[in-house]
């Protein structure tokens, strides 16, 4: 599903048939498809409809709706051919005399094959970003920098799946110079598919951490899955950027066949940084170096030490591509970051750090570090409202308890844990603080609804409040009540 997508370069139906292996039921091979939609709700007149399968829906069921909105045509999956006459009648009723009807074995494969060939037709320089944390922020930085002097297209929001990346590719224009793709995964071989579809020239792996561990037996397995990004880069004689300070960077470098450039906090590296100062909201200024030569100073607009790494990787990529130091500085400092990613929100006499987009052990610890640094600099009380971390498999309880102990170790003054798995954060925090005789406060609520009943009594003036949890838990709902 998703919004209707405007295809920026029209494609001849003959090419679509050749690329996808689909079969024409009606229409002309010499006609063109201008726009593609995968969602009948947002489809516009003249769009070509590609219905997709979801866990709880069959997109083929909405072909009639698409025709009612004057779709130019549609592709259906072969196992739905029994409805063909009904769709033809609907097209006649809507006076769609030249409706284009194609048949495919699988519509997601149909979409992916079009994207695969479309990007190779237009040949932009392609940058792919993956990693356990920091993908979207790194993408935002790179987009902001490169957009200053070049025509750039990119995967918006969290369009980092096969569907999202395919649809984003179809936004590429004839004059597009760079395409930047965020690449997510939940299992083996998914990064390989995305990287190959995009025809990557350059890749970035932000780091390896405990995310989606329900789908992998070890962190090495996650590292190998992320390293799949290198296969097409090797074929294209490109380069892979690795975070030198991540414990799996050497492991990945040994496994890949392409050229590797490392970035991090080490003057022996081609691209490296040194932090300089931090403001009272946890936003760092750092110096960027090329080897031992200082290039620029950059002041981040978002808090968190971990965001220095995201900015450093973006700067490294841009400098490697020949972007001026001036444009790198302005691009990173003025980048528009997606909502709910270390976003600072002022709430009367309190401040909220909204990091609700997603949650895993690495990103939670980074957010906690930021909370503690900022609270000390600003003289505010540190409060963490934490929800469940999902997709952690059999290690879930242990990893949640570890976060609780980390909160106590960092002396976060108040913990508010919300959700089934977050009970283990509460237990870990309370046990660790009791043994250390800390007089910190801790509260547990089984659900947001239970929290709402008490939320008015939990906070004080001059509280600095971190709110974080996995995306499915919608922790941002709490912010309006603080």
Q: Helices 396-409 and 422-436 sit at what angle, rounded to 10 degrees?
A: 40
Local confidence pLDDT in tens for the 482 residues of the chain:
344 455 668 899 999 999 999 999 999 999 999 999 999 999 999 999 999 998 888 999 999 999 999 999 999 999 999 999 999 999 999 999 899 999 999 999 999 999 999 999 999 999 999 999 999 999 999 999 999 999 999 999 889 999 999 999 999 999 999 999 999 998 999 999 999 999 999 999 999 988 766 778 799 999 999 999 999 999 999 999 999 999 999 999 999 999 999 999 988 999 999 999 999 999 999 999 999 999 999 999 999 999 999 999 999 999 999 999 999 999 999 999 999 999 999 999 999 999 999 999 999 999 999 999 999 999 999 999 999 999 999 999 999 999 999 999 999 999 999 999 999 999 999 999 988 777 799 999 999 999 999 999 999 999 999 999 998 999 999 999 99
Residues in the chain: 482
The secondary structure of residue 357, as a DSSP letter, is S
**pLDDT of res. 9:** 82
Residues in a beta bridge with 371: none
Backbone phi and psi for residue 444, each to the nearest 5 degrees, phi listed first: -130, 135
Extended beta strands in 78-185, E state: 100-104, 125-130, 152-154, 178-182
Handedness of CA 370, 376, 380, 385 (dihedral sign): positive
The secondary structure of residue 171, as a DSSP letter, is T
**pLDDT of res. 439:** 76
Show the tokens assigned to 70.
């004057």
**Tokens 């939670």 — which residue?**
364
The secondary structure of residue 200, as a DSSP letter, is -
Structural domains for the chain? 11-106 (3.40.1390.10), 123-333 (3.40.1190.10), 343-481 (3.90.190.20)
Q: Cα angle vertex 237, ends 231, 238, to 5°?
A: 80
C-alpha 194/C-alpha 112 separation (Å) is 9
C-alpha 434/C-alpha 365 separation (Å) is 21
User: Cα–Cα distances in Å, from 347 out to 336, 377, 459, 479, 481?
Assistant: 21, 18, 12, 9, 10
Q: What is the DSSP string of 252-316?
A: HHHH--SEEEEEES-TTSSEEEEEEEE-TTS-EEEEEEETTEEEEEEE-SS--THHHHHHHHHHH
State pTM to two decimals: 0.93
């Amino acid at each position: 599903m998703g919004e209707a997508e405007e295809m920026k370069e029209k494609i001849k139906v003959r090419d679509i048939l050749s690329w996808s292996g689909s079969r024409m039921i009606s229409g002309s091979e010499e006609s063109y498809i201008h726009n593609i939609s995968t969602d009948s709700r947002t489809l516009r007149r003249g769009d070509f409809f590609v219905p997709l399968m979801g866990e709880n829906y069959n997109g083929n069921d909405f072909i009639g709706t698409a025709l009612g909105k004057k779709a130019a045509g549609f592709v259906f999956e072969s196992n739905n051919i029994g409805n063909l006459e009904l769709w033809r009648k609907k097209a006649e009723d809507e006076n769609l005399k030249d409706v284009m009807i194609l048949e495919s074995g699988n519509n997601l494969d149909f979409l992916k094959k079009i994207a695969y060939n479309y990007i190779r037709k237009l040949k932009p320089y392609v940058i792919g970003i993956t990693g356990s944390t920091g993908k979207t922020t790194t993408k935002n930085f790179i987009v902001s920098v490169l957009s200053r002097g070049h025509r750039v297209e990119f995967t918006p929001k969290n369009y980092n799946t096969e569907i999202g990346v395919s649809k984003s590719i179809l936004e590429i224009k004839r004059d597009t110079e760079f395409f930047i793709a965020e690449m997510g995964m939940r299992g083996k071989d998914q990064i390989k598919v995305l990287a190959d579809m995009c025809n990557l020239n350059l890749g970035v792996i932000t780091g390896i951490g405990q995310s989606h561990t329900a789908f992998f037996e070890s962190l090495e397995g996650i590292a190998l899955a992320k390293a799949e990004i290198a296969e097409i880069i090797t074929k294209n004689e490109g380069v892979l950027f690795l975070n030198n300070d991540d414990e799996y960077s050497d492991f990945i470098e040994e496994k890949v066949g392409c050229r590797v450039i490392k970035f991090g906090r080490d003057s022996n590296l081609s691209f490296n940084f040194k932090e300089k100062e931090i403001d009272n909201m946890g936003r760092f200024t750092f110096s960027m170096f090329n080897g031992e030569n200082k290039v620029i100073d950059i002041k981040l607009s978002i808090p968190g030490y971990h965001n220095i790494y995201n900015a450093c990787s973006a700067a490294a990529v841009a400098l490697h591509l020949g972007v001026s130091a001036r444009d790198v500085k302005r691009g990173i400092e003025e980048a528009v970051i997606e909502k709910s990613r270390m976003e600072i929100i002022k709430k009367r006499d309190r401040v909220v750090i909204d990091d609700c987009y997603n949650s895993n052990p690495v990103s939670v610890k980074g957010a906690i570090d930021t909370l503690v640094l900022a609270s000390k600099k600003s003289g505010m009380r540190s409060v963490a409202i934490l929800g469940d971390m999902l997709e952690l498999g059999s290690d879930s309880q242990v990893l949640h308890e570890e976060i609780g102990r980390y909160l106590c170790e960092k002396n976060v003054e108040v913990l508010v844990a919300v959700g089934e798995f977050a009970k283990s954060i509460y237990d870990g925090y309370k046990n660790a603080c009791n043994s250390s005789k800390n007089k910190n406060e801790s509260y547990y609520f089984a659900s947001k609804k239970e929290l709402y009943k008490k939320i008015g009594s939990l906070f004080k003036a001059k509280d600095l409040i971190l709110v974080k949890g996995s995306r499915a838990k919608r922790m941002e709902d709490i912010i309006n009540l603080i």
